Homo-oligomer: A and B are copies of this chain.
Amino acid sequence: MDRRRVTINDIARHAGVSRSTVSLVLRASPRIPPETHDRVQGSIRALGYTYNRSAANLRQQTSQAIGLIINDICNPFFAELTSAVEEAAAEAGFFVYLVESAESPDRQDRVLQSMIEHDVAGMIICPATGTPGRTFDTLHARGLPICIAVRPYPDPRFDFAGPDNYLAAQMATGHLVGRGHRRIAFLGGEPTNPSRVDRLSGYFSALQQNGIAFDPALVVESRPSRKSGIADVEQVLRLAEPPTAALCYNDFVAISVMHGLRLQGLEPGRDMALIGFDGMPEAEMTYPPLSTVSLHARAIGRNAADLIIRRIGEPAAAPARRVEQPTLIIRQSSGA
C-alpha cells in the first residue's frame, strides 16, 4: 500500500463540503440537492474513493458477516450447502466467513471465539460430532444469533435447518423391503453422530413395521470417508448369512461400498442392492447409478441462511425449525 487510503475527509476537502455532507451523499440522503450530490460524486470518482464498511459497521454497531462452520467442505453435501448459503447471504447483502471444524469440538470452540471477535452478525453451525451440550450457552446468553444446521441438536432455544433423517431412513428401508429384501445392512457412520442415530431409528422402525427381526451383526460402525465403505461391506460379507441389501450412511460410503463389492468379485446392484443418503450429484453418474435419498442440501442451506437473516433482523423471534422433506431417488443400484 503505497499511499494511505482515500477517506471521506479527502472527498470533503476536494469537493469543498463537510464530512457530514459526504456521508449523506454516500447514503443517498434526499436532503442533499442534486448539484451537491453530483459534485461530491465527481470527487469520489476523481480520487478513487472506496467506502470503508468496517468503519461504518463499528459506528453503526452492525455487521454484514455471517459465520458458517461446517465439518468438511470436500464432502459434496456440504459444498452444495455452502454454495446455497453463500448465494442466499449475498442476495440479502451479507457475506460469509467459512471455516471447517473437521469434526473437532476444540477447533470449533476456537473458531466460534474468533468469529465473535470479528463481529459476525450471526452464525450457522453444523455442530461437530461430540459437541458438548453447553457449547453454545454463552453465545446464546450474549444474544448472538445462531442457527444450527444439518445435525440434529436437541436444544429448542436455537433456530434449526436440517433434513428429516428418520423419515429418510424409513423410506430407504421401506423401498428395499418392497423389493423383497429381508436381510438389510446399515453400513458406516460413527455411533455418536446424531444424524446417524436418527437414520438408524428410521431403519429400525421400518424393519419392525415389516415384521423383520433386527440383527445387530448387520449394523457396521465406521468413520465415513470416500473409502470407508470398502471395509464396511467386507465385514458384513463374512457373515454366515450375508445381507442382500444395504443402506449406506451416506453417498460417499455407498460409492466405496460399490468398489468394495467389486474387490470381492461381486456386482453392485445385482449381488447386493445399495442405497445411500444425501443425493449428491455424482450419485447419478456412478455405475450402476446409485439409488439415494436426497436430503436437499441446497434447500437446507437456503433455509439456514433465511433463518439466520431473519433472526439478525428480529432477535427476539420465537425459534423456528425448518425440516426439509427427503426424496427417494431410485436408480439401478437398488435394482430398479
Of A48, A52, A58, A118, most buried by chain B (CB within 10 Å of CB) is A118
A286 within 8 A of B: yes
A177 within 8 A of B: no
A285 within 8 A of B: yes
Complex Cα gap A254–B207 (Å): 39
Complex interface: chain B residues within 8 A of A282 (CB) = 226, 255, 282
A55 within 8 A of B: yes
- Residue ID in chain B nearest A119 by CB atoms: B54
Of A48, A79, A281, A285, most buried by chain B (CB within 10 Å of CB) is A285
A262 within 8 A of B: yes
Check B262 against A285 for contact (C-beta < 8 Å): no
A80 within 8 A of B: yes
User: Which of A92-100, A154-162, A198-206, A211-219 touches B?
Assistant: A92-100
Check B54 against A82 for contact (C-beta < 8 Å): no
Complex Cα gap A79–B100 (Å): 12
CB distance from A264 to the nearest CB of B (A): 14
CB distance from A266 to the nearest CB of B (A): 12
Complex Cα gap A287–B257 (Å): 12
Digitize A275-303: 1 where CB-to-B-CB distance is under 8 Å, 0 elsewhere. 00000011011110000000000000000
Digitize A256-273: 1 where CB-to-B-CB distance is under 8 Å, 0 elsewhere. 101100100000000000
Contacting residues of chain A (177-192) with chain B, CB-CB under 8 angstroms: none
Given known A79-B79, A98-B86, A285-B259, contact A1–B315 (CB-CB < 8 A): yes
A114 within 8 A of B: yes
- Residue ID in chain B nearest A5 by CB atoms: B61
A50 within 8 A of B: yes
Complex interface: chain B residues within 8 A of A227 (CB) = 284-285
- Residue ID in chain B nearest A54 by CB atoms: B119
Check B284 against A226 for contact (C-beta < 8 Å): yes
Given known contacts A48-B142, A58-B58, A73-B73, what 18 new A-B pairs fall within 8 Å (CB)? A1-B143, A50-B117, A51-B117, A54-B58, A54-B119, A55-B58, A65-B118, A73-B82, A73-B83, A73-B86, A79-B79, A86-B99, A86-B100, A95-B118, A227-B284, A282-B282, A286-B286, A287-B287
7 nearest A-B pairs in the assembled complex, by CB-CB distance: A1-B143, A53-B117, A98-B98, A287-B287, A54-B119, A74-B79, A255-B285
Residues of A within 8 A of B (CB): 1-3, 5, 48, 50-55, 57-58, 61, 63-65, 72-74, 76, 79-80, 82-83, 86-87, 90, 95-100, 113-114, 116-119, 138, 142-144, 226-227, 255-256, 258-259, 262, 281-282, 284-287, 315
